[in-house]
Every structure is written in structure tokens, then in C-alpha cells.
Structure 1
Amino acid sequence: MCVVLRVVLVGKRGEWMRSILSTAGLARASAQHPWRVVALWVALLVLSGVAAIGLGDRLPTNWKFLNEPESVRADRLLERELLNGPVPAREIVVIQSGSLTVDDAEFQAKLAEVGAALASVAGVASVVDYPTLYAVAPEQAAGFVSADRRTTLLAVTFAGEFEAVKEHTGAFLAAVAAASDSTFSVRTVGDLSANDTFSHTSESDLQRGELIAMPIALVVLVLVFGALVAAGIPLIAAIVAIIVSLGITGLLSHSLTLSFFIVNMITMIGLAVGIDYALFIVERFREERRRGRDIVDAITVTGDTATRAVLFSGITVVLSLIGILFIRTTIFLSLGLGSIIAVIVAVLVMLTLTPALLSLLGDRVNWPRKTPPPDPDADPIPASGFWVTVTRHVMARPVISLVLSTALLVALALPTLGLDYGLLGTGADGLPDSDVRDAYLVLQSEFVPGLIAPVEIVVDAPRTAEVDAAIGRLGDALEADPAFGPSTATSWNDAATLAEIETLLTMPVASNDAYQAIERLRNEHIPAAFSGTGADVRTTGGTSRNYDFIALTERLRPFIFAFVLGLSFILLTLVFRSIVVPIKAIIMNLLSVGAAWGLLVIVFKHGYGADLLGFRQLPTVEAWIPIFLFSVLFGLSMDYHVFMLSRVREHYARTGDNRASVAVGLQTTGRIITGAALIMVVVFSGFAAGRMVMFQQMGFGLAVAILLDATIVRSVLVPSSMALLGKWNWYLPSWMEWLPNLWVEGRPETG
């Protein structure tokens, strides 16, 4: 962001120094030249639309490491020393009959027919069926037929890695679909089919989320503003932010390895913060107009207060999200970069386009209501209403309010102790309801579950009798471990310097049991078998890659937490010149995040309310979600915290009355914070309503966390704790008095 936050420095002589380039100055300039600003953003929209062309084709649904854990090093060895190129894409086609067995002539004729049809698809290198495999390897062929012999498999290998052959997905899936008839069910699961399912489901979920979120958000905005035109401005701002962000992403996608996550993140975060930020700005503009300021002055004051708070909030969100970029995978790069781009563009829209629109509309923002006559002496503190009642009860019984609200959040957070992590995209649990998922479930129930993602063991050593003996010992160890099925024959490269051993897991490949099996393989079986040989042995495959991903997130989680918590403490200390406020904010944010994690476990793992909400009960939570929730929520919750406490501090600076200041802060911000939170809850809930389980978990987690933060935390926990602490809320050690005095919403009026 090229705009700096205007800092008001209080020197010993009481001189006020302001930066030349300020949010107020930008707001005034935009208000005085609105058509130039609008024209600039229209041009950006057109350019962004052009830049975003073909974006979806450049964003795969699979993910990659951007560093080199064990599985990546093993893959590169295989590609270089054994395969002479990348691992080819594969599909497993499941052919099932309700009446015939593979021994029947009709079934065998069907196999030959389907095999020939698939082999004729462009990009297919080979198709292996049961009869062909039985002729050369009867023992291995046994794994291609179910116990009742009514289901069999076709192994399809493509002539290149996924990216090289994905253009043939449509033709391949069409051939599979055409093979089904009244006697045989033909379905497929693998690299191409799973990618196609994820891609189409992601697009439909995105559209569904928008269709749900935007109309309901408009209703909430109308209720908050009581005016249709005012309600439309935040939606326009959000849509502009999303389109421009997608254009920027379109440019970046030519040079960065991203995933389809980034489009969903931009849309979701862009809608949420775009609407939220504009809500604060439009409401402050209307408040200044009610006080009698002319349009340009009202916009300038709004820029000096609400817009500056938005800028601070945006900076905080961006800095919080930087933490997740520490985890070097395309998942976290896409999550973090998409959210950061959306927030930065949304803030730029608030700094320029929103003031320009307000200047053009003027008092027409109040349509269809009539603009009330200006009243410079109007008291902004409501005399009655819901928030006055809430304030009265919380301030009258601060101890009870504090204890009950804390107890509720702690109780909701306790199930977090049972939180298990996974990567659902590798298993049937992560697939939306589809033929691909059905094929996967047949594989799990009728065959060895690990067939879809074999464990590959790579032995980097010259072939010697000692190494052969070690491979034999490893085979014996795997045979004795019930987690592993039979190993296939060992494959050596032509130079006899690298070997590959494949084995199958006997449980779902994306389960905790599977990850524990990989851990035993790496830490027990392989070291015991190859001790003293000097061989470098690594494992790869879908389950190994998932294991490395989860291990990476667990290893970096404490550093990310420390980064975000430390950043929050520093920023809040600077804003409020207090060490008590940031400590309380960190504790309260941890409570709300913990409660959100606990609710994820309650709903998705234990299934309470899952059917009612349309969610799928699962044994794990997507491994990236807890860290993402933590980073996003610490950034977003700062918005509400600063908005409310700025009003408290402003009143306290004028009166010195802590109790009255807390009451004023809650009464004056309760309605707008609740409205903003409801909009975010609506947006996140819209995305949770889709069929992608990972986005169900993410949307639900964000929605409940924001709801808890804006209600229990901001409306009860914050005011009750501040009422009890009194003047200690504003305690700053004397050795920190040199810190600048930041008034995020402007310097309080005196006198």
C-alpha cells in the first residue's frame, strides 16, 4: 500500500505533526475529482477482465510443495533415475456388474470393449485389464478382482504427467460415461477425473456462495442503513475489488505456481472485507452529514476517521496473513496471496473509489428516505435501544458477564483437544458426491484401499547383495505390519543405482492410521532394514506427501502463532498506548479462535448438527484450515476491536471516566459492528453451503468465529473486562512513553 497511515505525534511541546499524504487528503481529492477516479477504476476493471482470461485453465486443483521434504526428493530421484521424466497421470476404471462375474464371456467381452475404447483416447499410453495381467502375473492380477468377482479394474496410464495430458480429460471421461449400460456400471477415479470433479464443483460452489451471500448481505445492509442506495455502495465496492484482484492474479499466474484455492479466497475475502469496510465509511459519512458538514468536508472527515481505521485494519490483516506464507506449499501461497491481494485492493477502493461515489451521490445515499435536516448538536450516543439495554446489563454485572462469557468460550474450545488433521483431497472423504467418489468408495470396500495411492519406497544405492538383503528384510517387516499389503516386485533402473518398491496400504490413504503407517515405515521399518548399508531410502506417494504436508504445518505452526501474536501486540500497543489492551485482545482472540476450532470438531468430527447444516461428518479437519482461520481471524477481529476501543479511548481522553467511556463505546459501535459481523457471517456461510468439504469447514469456521467475536467477545467480554480494570486498561510503562500517539479514528475533540 502506497498510502501511509497518518500518525499524530505528540511531542513534549504538544506539537501535532501530520504526514503530507493522508487518508483525509486522498478522500478530499477523490471527492473533488470523482469522475476522474471513477474513470480510472473503470479502466482498471476492463484491464483486469482481460488479464483474468484463461485464469481457470492455469490453476490446477492439485497442490505442490515449494520446498523439498522427503517425498519431493524421492519424486525427483524417480523422475531422473528411473522414469526418465515426470510421473505419468493415472486413472483406475471400476467396472461392476450386478449379475455377471469376470469369468463370464459377456463380462470379458465388455472388458475388451471398454479397454479398446479407452486406449483410443488421445493421451492414453496403456490400458491393463484383468485377463491381460493374469496371463503374465496371476498373483498380481488377483488384486484386480473383487472377492465376489463381480467388480474388476482397468489401470490406465497416460503418456505424460497431469499438466501435459489434462487437455484430454473431457474425451476420456466421455468414453468412460459411454461405457456404462444396464448391465455394467463403469466409473473412474484418478488424477484427471478428480481434478475435473474438484474444478467443476469449485466453480459451482463459488457461484452458489455468491448467490447466497450477496442478496442476504444486501438485506442486512438495507436494515443497517435504512436506505437502498447506501446499501448498494458496499456491494459495488466489493465487486470492483474482486474483479481487479482476479486480474492481478491472472497476471501473477503466468509466473507463480498457484492453485484453484486463490479464486475462492479472493471472492470470499473480497466480498467480506469489501462490504465491511465500505459499511464503516458510508455510515461515518452519513453521520458527518447529519452533523451539518458539507459533502466534501464530510468525506474528508470520514477519510480522516473511518477510512484511516479501514487502512489500519487492512494493514493488520495483510501482516497477519503474511505468516501463512511461511509454509511453502501452493495451498498456503494461494490462500495467503489471494487474501492479501483482495484486502489490498479493497483498501485502495475505500481510499479512492468510495469517496468518489459518495461525492457523486451526496445525500441521495439516503434514498428512498428523506435526508434529515443537519443537527450539529445531535448526541451520537443513543438514549435507548437494544445496545443501550445490553450495555446497562453488562456494566451492572461485569464479574458475572466476564465469568459466564469466558466459561462459554472455554467450553466450546475444549473439543479442540481432539482435533485431528488430514488432507481430504487425497481420499474419498474430500471428494464431493459424484461418480468419482463412488468409484473411490468401491475401491475402498471391494479392493485394497491403498490401490489409489501406492506407497513408493525409493532406494538410492548401487545394487549389491547387501542392499538386496536389506530390501528383503524390509519386505518381511511390511508383511508383518497389518497396515501394509503385499509389495510388488522391486524395479531397478538400467544402471542398477536406484530401486523402487511399491506397497499398498490396507486402510484409506488419507486417514490418521495411514499417516501413522508412513511414520512407522520411515522411522522404524526402513532404518532397521537398511542399517549399515549406506543406502539413502525415502518414501513418496500420495500418503507420504500428505504426511509431509501435515508435518510441515505442525513444525511451523508455533512460529506463525508467535509472529501473528507478536504483531498484534505491537500494533495494538502503538494504537492505544497501553500494554493491557493488547494482552487482553490476544487472550480474547485466542478464546474465539479456540471456540471456532472446537465447533469444527463438534460438528465435523462428532457430527452434532452436521446433517442439519448439510455438512459431511469426517474424522479429520483439513490440515491448512486451523492456521488459516487463526491468521485471518486475528486480522479481521482487529477491525472490530480498533473500531470499538477507538471510541472508548476518544471518550476517555475527554472525560477520564473509564466506566462511562466503555458504555459509550459499546452503545455507539454495537449496531454497526453487529451489522458488519452479520455480513461476514453471511458471506462465509454462503461458501460453507457448497459441496466441497474443505470449503464447508473453512466457511463454517470463519462464520462462527466472527459471530462469537462480534457478540460474546466484543459485546460482553471486552466491556466487562474493561469495566473491571478501570484506569489500568490504559497502563503503559514509563519507559515506553516515547511511543507515538496514534489516533486511528482521528484526534478527539476537546473542550
Structure 2
Amino acid sequence: MASLLYRLGSFAARRAWPVIVAWVVILGISVGAFFAVGGTLSNSFDIPGTASGAVTDALAEKLPDTAGGTGTVVYRTIDGEPFTDEQKEAITDAATSARDLDGVAAVIDPFDAEAQQAAQAAQLDAGRAQADAGRAQLDAGQAQLDAGRAQLDAAVAEAAAAGAPAEQQAALAAQLATLDEQQATLDASRAELAAGDEQLELGTTLLGLADGIGVVSDDGTTAIVNVSFVDPRLELSEEVKQATIAHFEENPVEGTTVDFGTDIAQGVPEIFGVGEVVGLVFAAIVLIVMLGSLIAASLPIVTAIVGVGVGVTASLAFSGVVDMASVTPVLGVMLGLAVGIDYSLFIVNRHRKQLIEGVPVRESIGLATGTSGTAVVFAGSTVIVALLALNVTGVPFLGLMGTVGAVCVAVAVLVAITFAPALLSLIGERLLRRRTRGIIGHKHAGEKPVKTMSTVRAVVTVLVSVVALLIVAIPALSMRLGLPDGSSEPSDSTSYRAFQIVDETFGAGANGPLLVTATLPAAIDDDELLATQAAVASAIAEQPDVAAVAPIAASDDGTLLAFQVLPEEGPNSVTTEKLVQDLRAMEPVNGDIVLGVAGQAAINIDISEALADVLPIYLVVVVGLSLIIMVVVFRSLLVPLIATGGFVLSLFATYGLIVSVFQFGWGASIIGLHSTGPILSFLPVILVGILFGLAMDYQLFLASGMREAYVHGSPARLAVAQGFRAGRSVVIAAALIMVSVFGGFIFSESTIIRSIGFGLAFGVLLDAFVVRMLLMPALMHLLGRSAWWLPRWLDRVLPNVDMEGAALEREHPGVQTGGVRLTS
């Protein structure tokens, strides 16, 4: 590997301009492809095979009007007074005309819905009054009939006692028969009235259960226009959403504000903002301090920007044919910048040191690419493996995020071992400051002898590091997963305003209503419909934390009913999550009516649970694959195990910090976080893949230096100290650069991007400075020679990847500096 990379770096140095032009052409093709065939990004996250997905499929088959996505448009009067007639008419016109938009299935006019609800209540009252009047009329008729029967009975008795003629008695009997017929008619009317009373009672019950579900506020100042779309929420295109928003914005209603819920207006995060610029500036400062000149410091940044440009735009070019989440390219930018700067830094720093030692420019470029470049390739491989392994989770949007991230890392590696050497060749000795160029090749005073740490210090370091990380990790035990709602949007966004208005006016649950289906064992007719709906609605209403429930549809074949259920609290609350679980766990209503739950809140819960389930599997796959890579690289069993154990500690400590800030709200104001809630559902999985790969980067650069010293004859414990001193400065600089790049995203307006940036920044901080710089050297010291133990049979089987560059050392003596070659 080292020899191959030496030849590649030497070629790039000799053919600098063709290599640079080739990368410029590649960048141009990628940008052109993005503008030519790139599509829009989505804020929807989908996981196949969830419980809510099955319910949505059933609705799509039998109740297609309820299966599509929904959008919320919120109107509010500016002066706080009730809507005027003119304003109501304008809102109605906007709602009515929106029904003609492409992709829109239906639009509910709030004032029409309010009128219908009032009409239903009035109809029930009228029916009740009519029933009372009918009952009074029946009672009067019954009293009259009873009086006539009493008189007739007396006449019959008197005629019989007096021995009246048979004709007279027959006439009296005929009159009694007539009274019996009248009684039968009264009884039938009374039965019919009783049946009507039952229907009125059922209607009253349903109306009472639905109390709280409304689209016009009690004070008449706020109204909600509900838009139903043809496509399901997870398939709803951004074009349809934006066209809906544009329609209502282009038809303003004087004296009102209009805002849109996150279901249609959740913003697509900007890929690069002010925070990211600040992060890059800090990275540049670190590079200047590390490399000593502006030219040297600018080179890693330039190469990283080229790599990001190629990787991200090439990936975005596929957004026109695949459904790509909006966070995907941002993740590519994060990774591309961070690893791109670091990987080029490793090679530039090695080249700089060799120049100072007097190695010719092109020879030094080849040697730096062959040595540090080998470590870059294997470090990048661990990151790529971890990211590509996201595809084994079976979660499409996660797999795509991992693939795009892997592409960006792969491009960063290629840029570091080709484009960076070409630029170094053009820069030549100007990479060094003028004063430094004056002492090239001169003998320098030797460094102070390296001393090994004491065993006591090593034991104390291990104990303190482990205990500290475990304490920081404690909040992770309370982690809740979810997806952001309107409360987590920027405070000046339309989605945040819509969420707050609905919360204040209609209740927290109105921001996340559930869609509950009832599957019937057999078809029911219209006479049974009301009773069945009332039975199901009553059973649902008995569950804790249900604010209101209302039937909204019944299938034509009479086998599927749909209900809207309003929770007491918002879509991301603990009680709403429990309500979804309780509804799904309910015994069948009336013994055979099975309930299902869908809706945005239920979909978010399903996605979070599914991602929580795949996390252990993914962790095993990533760790297993990377362990194999590290065993090959280090030719040791214990070093990979130490590296992995330290990573697990830093990972859970990172989880603890995230929960502390984003869920508990500790110090949230420091980063401008105005709302707390569940942790982003796919964040734990994403962090596993990325942080494990980056952690192994630093492990490779530090431990490979230790192994170099060991294989060159240093005692095991001295080799630990020598390798650590050889690599610590560049690893510290690289870690600070990553923290600054990731940290810049903490101040993004998007909560999704903010939490990812926070997790990556503090994950790198903990792993690099606590695990790699403290815990790992201390454990290596305690293990001594046993750290490099490998069974002989395995040693014979494993391929020799030449991480130490032994072949280069034989062919190019200049590769060795001071007895311990520096891999970084």
C-alpha cells in the first residue's frame, strides 16, 4: 500500500497541472449535473413495515380521501377581534380555490365546517324537541284511548248484565277491536319514537365526544384551513407543498396573518451558513498555528472545499431520481469539510517536516503520500465502512445518508492523495516560511529524551477517565427518541408561529391529531353505523389523555371506520406516545372490532421505535467490520479491543451530553435552543457510524506511531510514549479542526442540523482528548508487550498492508527521521 501510494503521490507531483485540471473538470461536471438533473429535497422520513404504514395502506385501499397527507393553514386577526364577514368570505374563497391545485384532494373551509357543526347540534336539538312533542302527543292520545276504553268496557259490562241483544254486544265488541287497532298504532309510534330517541342519544354522545375538535376558535379570532393531499405524507412532493403555500400567500386576507404548519412548511436547512464560516475560520487559525504559514494553512482548506464540492453536488444530482432527505447533503458537507481538512493536513504536515530535514520536494511529496497517505486511506476506510453499513439497517433514508456521507469521505481521501500532492508540487519550498527555508537540511538540536509514564499514573488516568465518561453518560439512560415538531422550528419561522397559535387556541393535541381506524369483522349497514361509531368512539374516549374523538369516514363496503383523536398533549409528549401504545394494545371493541393508529404523531413514534431497534444491530455490524480492519492494520487483537471499548464509553458520554442539553434543557440557552424535546430519532444511529469512523482515524494515527517505534526495536512501553509524542500535535490539531467544523453547525436554525453538529463536535472532543489522548495510551502502557500479541496462525493468514512503510524505508532512506518515523 505504501509503495503504491508513493508512486501515486510522485505522479501527481510530476503531473501537477493535469491532475489539478482533472479535478477542476470533475468539479465542473458534478456541479453541471446537479443543476441539470438535481431535484428537490424532502423533510419526510419513511421506514417500511411500520404499524402506521399498514394502517395507511388500508386507508389508501378503502378510504383514499383520508390516506393522503395533510397541511395546516392558520389564519389569525391582527387586531385580536373576531373575523369580519369580509374576512370570512375572503378565507372561504382562498380555501375553495385551493381545491383546484395539483395534488390537492380536498380543502375544508373552517367557517363552513363550523356552520355544519352548529347545524348538527341544532338538528339534534330540533329532533329532541320534535321527539318530546311526539311523546306528549302520544301520551295525550293514550290518555284519550284509555278513557274511551274505560267507557267502552263499562258499556260492555252493562250490556252483558242487562242481557242486551246480540247485535248491541257485537257493536260494542267492534268498537273494542277498533280501540285495539288504535292502541297498536300508538304502540308502533311509541316504538318508532324510542328508536329515534336511541339515534338521538347516539348522535348526542358522538357530538359530546367530539367537543374540543374545532377549526374556528371560541373567540372567533383564529381559523384553521385543513388541506388534504392525494399522496400520503411520506410521498408528498415538495412542489405540491410549496404550491399550496404560495396559493394562500398570493391571496392575502386584509387584517389577518397566515401561517403554515410543519406538515407543509418545515424549512429545508441551509447547507452552509454563518456558523459554518466561523467554524472554518477557527480551523484556519489552528492550521496556521500548526503549519506556521498562510500558504500551508490554506492548502488543506482548499482541498477540502474541492472535495466537498465534488462529493455533495454529485450526490445532489441524484436527488431528482431518489427521495433525498434535506439533512443528507448537510451531513455530506460536515463530513467532507472535517475529514477533508484533516486528511490533507496529515500529508502536508509530514511533507513539511521532511522538507525541513532536507528531503527534495518531489521526493518528499511521494514519501508523505506513501506514509501518511497510507494511514489516511485506512482511516478513511473505517469511516466509509461505518457509513455504508447504515444500509444494513433497512431504513432507506438512513442508508442514503450513509451512502452520500461515504461518497464525500471517499472523495476527500482521493483529493488528499492526488490533488494535495499536485498543489504541494506547485508551491514547492514556499510551503515553509522564509526563515524556516533558511535552515533546511541543517542539523537541529535533538528533542528531549522520551520518558514513559509511571504505572501509578497510568492506573489513575484509566480510572479517572472511565469514571468521568460514565458520569457524563448517566443522562443517556433517560433518552427519548422522536422527530422535531413545530415547537423546535426557528422562533421567527411560520411553522413555529402556526404551532404556537394552534397550541394556545385549540390545545396542544391539535398540533398532532391521531388517525384511528376500526376494522370490522363483517359489513354493517346504515342502521348499524351510528351505534358502531358510538361504541368505538366511547371505547377510545375511555383511554387516558384523550381530549376528544370524532368519526370522520366509513368505507363504502361497511368494513372500515376512521376516527380523528385529539390527544391532551402535543405530538412529542410522553403521554401522546403512551396513548398510541395504549390504543394499539386495546382489546377489540365489542370483542371483534380491531383498532389501528396512524397520523403524524404515530408515524414519528413508529420511526423512532424502529430506529431504536436497529441501533444494536448496526453497532455490532460496524464494530465487527472495523475490528477486522484494525486487526489487519495493527496486527494485534488487544489494540482494536481497547480502541472499540474506549469508543463505546465516549459514545454513551456523548449521548448523555445530548440528552442533557436537547432533552433536559441544561445550558440550552447557551446555544440558542428555545425548545427542548425528544432526541432526533436517527441521531444515535448516525453518531455510531460517523464517530466510530472518526475515532478510529485518531486511533490509527496514534497507535500506528506506537507500532512503528515498537517494530523498530523500542521497548513496548517506551514505544507508547514515542508514538504518542510523534503524533499528538497533529492529532490535537486535527481534532480541534473537526470540533470547530462540526461546532459551526450547532448554531444552525434547523434543530436536526443543530443536534447532529452538537453530537459530532462533542463526540470528537470526548473521544480524541479523553479516550485517544488519555485512556488509550494509559491502557497500552499497562498492557506492555501483550498489546501487540497476535496468534501465529492469524499472523500468517493476515495480509501485510505495510502501514509502517517498511518497503519505502528500504528504497528511500530519507523516510526515516530520528529513528522513529512519523506517520502523521
Using a 3 Å threshold, how does the CA distance of structure 1 residues 394 and 362 change in structure 2: closer, same or farther?
farther
**What residue in structure 2 maps to residue 166 of structure 1?**
241
Which residue of the other structure, out of 101, 121, 136, is the alignment partner of 2:116? Answer: 136
Using a 3 Å threshold, how does the CA distance of structure 1 residues 168 and 511 change in structure 2: closer, same or farther?
same
Is residue 580 of structure 1 aligned with residue 645 of structure 2? Answer: no
**What residue in structure 2 maps to residue 442 of structure 1?**
501
**What residue in structure 2 maps to residue 747 of structure 1?**
806
Contact 1:423 1:622 in 2 (8 A): yes
Which aligned pairs between 1:36-51 and structure 2 lie closer than 5 A?
36-51=18-33
**What residue in structure 2 maps to residue 634 of structure 1?**
692
Which residue of the other structure, out of 213, 225, 241, is the alignment partner of 2:291? Answer: 225
Structure 1 residues 390-438: Cα deviation after superposition (integer angstroms, max 9, x where no partner): x8777772122222122211111122111111111x3423555423212
Contact 2:491 2:497 in 1 (8 A): no
Q: Return the alpha-carbon distance in structure 1 between the equivalents of residues 80 and 502 of structure 2.
A: 19
In the superposition, the TM-score normalised over structure 1's length comes to 0.88
**What residue in structure 2 maps to residue 677 of structure 1?**
735
Query: Which stretch shows the higher mean deviation, 546-555 or 464-473?
Result: 464-473
**What residue in structure 2 maps to residue 702 of structure 1?**
760
Using a 3 Å threshold, how does the CA distance of structure 1 residues 689 and 306 change in structure 2: closer, same or farther?
same
> Based on CA coordinates, which of the two structures has the bigger radius of gyration?
2
Q: Return the alpha-carbon distance in structure 1 between the equivalents of residues 443 and 535 of structure 2.
A: 88
Which residue of the other structure, out of 538, 542, 565, is the alignment partner of 1:503? Answer: 565
Contact 1:478 1:485 in 2 (8 A): no
2:457 partner letter:
R
Three-state SS of the structure 1 residue aligned to 2:223 is strand
Deviation of residue 666 (structure 1)?
1.7
Which aligned pairs between 1:144-223 and structure 2 lie closer than 5 A?
144-157=215-228, 162-163=236-237, 165-169=240-244, 171-172=246-247, 174-175=249-250, 178-179=252-253, 181=255, 184-194=256-266, 198-199=267-268, 202-203=269-270, 206-223=272-289
Structure 1 residues 307-354: Cα deviation after superposition (integer angstroms, max 9, x where no partner): 111110111101111232233445413421221111011111112111
2:478 partner letter:
G
Contact 1:208 1:687 in 2 (8 A): no
**What residue in structure 2 maps to residue 383 of structure 1?**
448
Q: Return the alpha-carbon distance in structure 2 between the equivalents of residues 180 and 400 of structure 1.
A: 71
**What residue in structure 1 maps to residue 514 of structure 2?**
455
Three-state SS of the structure 2 residue aligned to 1:179 is coil
**What residue in structure 1 maps to residue 11 of structure 2?**
29
Deviation of residue 621 (structure 1)?
0.9
User: What residue ranges of structure 1 are gaps of 5+ in the alignment?
Assistant: 7-17
**What residue in structure 1 maps to residue 62 of structure 2?**
81
Three-state SS of the structure 1 residue aligned to 2:389 is helix
Q: Return the alpha-carbon distance in structure 2 between the equivalents of residues 437 and 720 of structure 1.
A: 49
Structure 1 residues 19-56: Cα deviation after superposition (integer angstroms, max 9, x where no partner): xxx22221122112111111111111111111111677
**What residue in structure 2 maps to residue 112 of structure 1?**
89
1:115 partner letter:
T
Which aligned pairs between 1:2-81 and structure 2 lie closer than 5 A?
5=1, 22-53=4-35, 57-65=39-47, 67-81=48-62
Contact 2:39 2:320 in 1 (8 A): no
Q: Return the alpha-carbon distance in structure 2 between the equivalents of residues 652 and 609 of structure 1.
A: 45
Which residue of the other structure, out of 322, 344, 348, is the alignment partner of 1:278? Answer: 344
Q: Return the alpha-carbon distance in structure 1 between the equivalents of residues 400 and 795 of structure 2.
A: 41
Using a 3 Å threshold, how does the CA distance of structure 1 residues 362 and 729 change in structure 2: closer, same or farther?
same
**What residue in structure 1 maps to residue 303 of structure 2?**
237
Three-state SS of the structure 1 residue aligned to 2:264 is helix
Using a 3 Å threshold, how does the CA distance of structure 1 residues 50 and 395 change in structure 2: closer, same or farther?
farther
Is residue 293 of structure 1 aligned with residue 359 of structure 2? Answer: yes
1:40 partner letter:
A
Deviation of residue 644 (structure 1)?
0.6
Which aligned pairs between 1:294-443 and structure 2 lie closer than 5 A?
294-367=360-433, 370-375=436-441, 382-383=447-448, 397-424=457-484, 426-430=485-489, 433-443=492-502
Using a 3 Å threshold, how does the CA distance of structure 1 residues 125 and 531 change in structure 2: closer, same or farther?
closer
User: What residue ranges of structure 2 are gaps of 5+ in the alignment?
Assistant: 119-206, 811-818, 820-824
Q: Return the alpha-carbon distance in structure 2 between the equivalents of residues 340 and 267 of structure 1.
A: 11
Query: Which stretch shows the higher mean deviation, 670-679 or 161-170?
Result: 161-170
Three-state SS of the structure 1 residue aligned to 2:597 is strand
Three-state SS of the structure 1 residue aligned to 2:272 is helix
Deviation of residue 618 (structure 1)?
1.3
Is residue 529 of structure 1 aligned with residue 529 of structure 2? Answer: no
Contact 1:314 1:344 in 2 (8 A): yes
**What residue in structure 1 maps to residue 156 of structure 2?**
none
Contact 1:454 1:502 in 2 (8 A): yes
Structure 1 residues 565-596: Cα deviation after superposition (integer angstroms, max 9, x where no partner): 21232222221121111111111111111111
1:440 partner letter:
F
2:13 partner letter:
A
Using a 3 Å threshold, how does the CA distance of structure 1 residues 375 and 77 change in structure 2: closer, same or farther?
same
Contact 1:285 1:299 in 2 (8 A): yes
Contact 2:95 2:109 in 1 (8 A): no
**What residue in structure 2 maps to residue 12 of structure 1?**
none
Q: Return the alpha-carbon distance in structure 1 between the equivalents of residues 259 and 223 of structure 2.
A: 11
Contact 1:616 1:693 in 2 (8 A): no
Structure 1 residues 533-575: Cα deviation after superposition (integer angstroms, max 9, x where no partner): 6x6x532211121121112112211111111121232222221
Using a 3 Å threshold, how does the CA distance of structure 1 residues 68 and 606 change in structure 2: closer, same or farther?
closer
1:68 partner letter:
G
1:78 partner letter:
L
**What residue in structure 1 maps to residue 199 of structure 2?**
none
Deviation of residue 264 (structure 1)?
0.4
Deviation of residue 489 (structure 1)?
2.1
Three-state SS of the structure 1 residue aligned to 2:562 is strand
Three-state SS of the structure 1 residue aligned to 2:43 is coil
Structure 1 residues 669-727: Cα deviation after superposition (integer angstroms, max 9, x where no partner): 11110100011001011011112112221111111111122212222111111112211
Q: Return the alpha-carbon distance in structure 2 between the equivalents of residues 55 and 369 of structure 1.
A: 51
Identity, % of aligned positions: 29
Deviation of residue 261 (structure 1)?
1.3
Q: Return the alpha-carbon distance in structure 2 between the equivalents of residues 358 and 154 of structure 1.
A: 61
Deviation of residue 282 (structure 1)?
0.4
Q: Return the alpha-carbon distance in structure 2 between the equivalents of residues 96 and 263 of structure 1.
A: 39
Q: Return the alpha-carbon distance in structure 2 between the equivalents of residues 135 and 34 of structure 1.
A: 76
Deviation of residue 447 (structure 1)?
0.9
Structure 1 residues 106-142: Cα deviation after superposition (integer angstroms, max 9, x where no partner): 3x43222233245445626655344312332235696
Three-state SS of the structure 2 residue aligned to 1:52 is helix
Is residue 668 of structure 1 aligned with residue 726 of structure 2? Answer: yes
In the superposition, the TM-score normalised over structure 2's length comes to 0.80
1:296 partner letter:
R
